Amino acid sequence: MKVQWYPGHMTKAKRAMQEDIRLVDLIIELVDARAPLSSRNPDIDELGNGKARLILLNKADLAFEAANEAWSRYFKSKGLFVMKLDARNRGSMKAIIPYIMEACHEKLERDQRRGIQNRPIRAMVAGIPNVGKSTFINSLAGKAAAKTGNKPGVTKGNQWIRLNKQVELLDTPGILWPRFDDEEAGTRLAFLGSVNDEILNKEEMATELITWLTGTQPGLLGKHYAIDEEGKTPFELLESLAKARACLLQGGRLDTLRASRLLLDDFRGGRLGRITLELPEDVPSAVTDEEG
Ligand code: G4P
């Protein structure tokens, strides 16, 4: 069951994050590469103040490559360490540990100055639901995930996974709540399936997605579903899609709800191709941040 983000849940999640953050040197923050700002909880900047930070542009395999590069440059310009990733790909995990060390260079240097030796870097993974946190932890820790067990001072239930001699990872990710301050960000998260869409009107979401897709990539839907895009309203296009994919109700009426689910699933699963919903220059908050 997906969690609804009522204020009580948010307070609880925030408190849990605050407790976990106290235990770590580094926060590995996963965002969705298709909408890196909309899928990022801005509160993490305040919560993670003073900690080393690494942003992973996850699901980069589903996003435009040029856009991944643009977002990498954007986060680097903010002084953050950033890496694009497909968390399902275990092969790409090799590069992460050296990068974690690099992101924690200040702590390592500080330890060295103080004569502290062999104190491992402790890291935690955080992000909004469905961004790939569990997939990432599983890929990174792999079979060899040697849990070091509960140690004094560690919140009960938290276990450390030893990645190597120098890096330990908290085994449960910090769940951040999605941002609510921006309607456009909310729509993007809904397209990506990162907010509870049981409560959302699927046909409305599908027609909004059709509006966005026909506006930014005319011809894509026509080609993928073998339908004619010309001169149709978004809802008429949804009906054409229902017809093309034989989404029919009893009596032969078009099942536009099933067609909506199909479209959203295809979009989320990358079957419409690699797509990025926002670029740094399109997002007013990104530009404002840049200037600020
Ligand atoms: P969470 O812990 O942050 O909630 O996310 P989780 O790891 O459960 O991942 C959510 C979905 O995203 C999963 O798909 C997972 O396979 C997929 N995923 C995670 N990272 C990547 C990535 O880098 N690229 C792509 N393309 N997909 C990714 P699912 O359909 O919900 O489950 P599954 O049947 O695929 O396991």
136: domain CATH number is 3.40.50.300
Residues 226-250, mean pLDDT to the nearest whole number: 97
Could you give the 3-state DSSP secondary structure of residue 170? strand
For the question of whether the overall pTM of this predicted structure is more than 0.85, the answer is: yes
* Beta-sheet pairing, 167-170 with 174-175: unpaired
Residues 248 and 133 placed together within one structural domain of the fold: no
Ligand 1 centroid–CA 135 distance in Å is: 6
Rounded CA gap, 11 and 5, in Å? 10
Could you give the 3-state DSSP secondary structure of residue 121? strand
Q: Is 133 in the pocket of ligand 1 (CB under 6 A)?
A: yes
The H or E element containing residue 257 is helix 256-268
Residues 87 and 128 placed together within one structural domain of the fold: yes
Rounded CA gap, 6 and 290, in Å? 31
Q: Could you tell me if residue 219 is inside a domain? A: yes
Q: Which residues pair with 123 in a beta bridge?
A: 26, 169
Q: What CATH number is associated with residue 250?
A: 1.10.1580.10
**Domain housing 275:** 201-283
Decide which of 153 and 70 is more confident: 70
Ligand 1 centroid–CA 274 distance in Å is: 16
Q: Is the pLDDT at 292 greater than 60, yes or no?
A: no
Ligand 1 centroid–CA 282 distance in Å is: 26
Residues 132 and 217 placed together within one structural domain of the fold: no
Q: Could you tell me if residue 221 is inside a domain? A: yes
Tokens read off for 285? 């908050």
Rounded CA gap, 128 and 60, in Å? 16
To test ligand 1's pocket by mutation, which of 65, 85, 135, 275 has the most ligand atoms within 8 angstroms of CB? 135
Please provide the size of the chain in residues: 292
- For residue range 175-190, what is the model confidence (pLDDT) as tens digits? 898 877 788 888 999 9
In the chain, the number of structural domains is 2
Q: Could you tell me if residue 225 is inside a domain? A: yes
Residues 101 and 163 placed together within one structural domain of the fold: yes
Q: Is 240 in the pocket of ligand 1 (CB under 6 A)?
A: no
Decide which of 217 and 143 is more confident: 217
Q: Could you tell me if residue 166 is inside a domain? A: yes
Rounded CA gap, 265 and 259, in Å? 10
Tokens read off for 190? 């809904």
- For residue range 147-167, what is the model confidence (pLDDT) as tens digits? 444 444 444 567 899 998 889
Ligand 1 centroid–CA 57 distance in Å is: 13
Residues 158 and 224 placed together within one structural domain of the fold: no
Tokens read off for 212? 């966005």
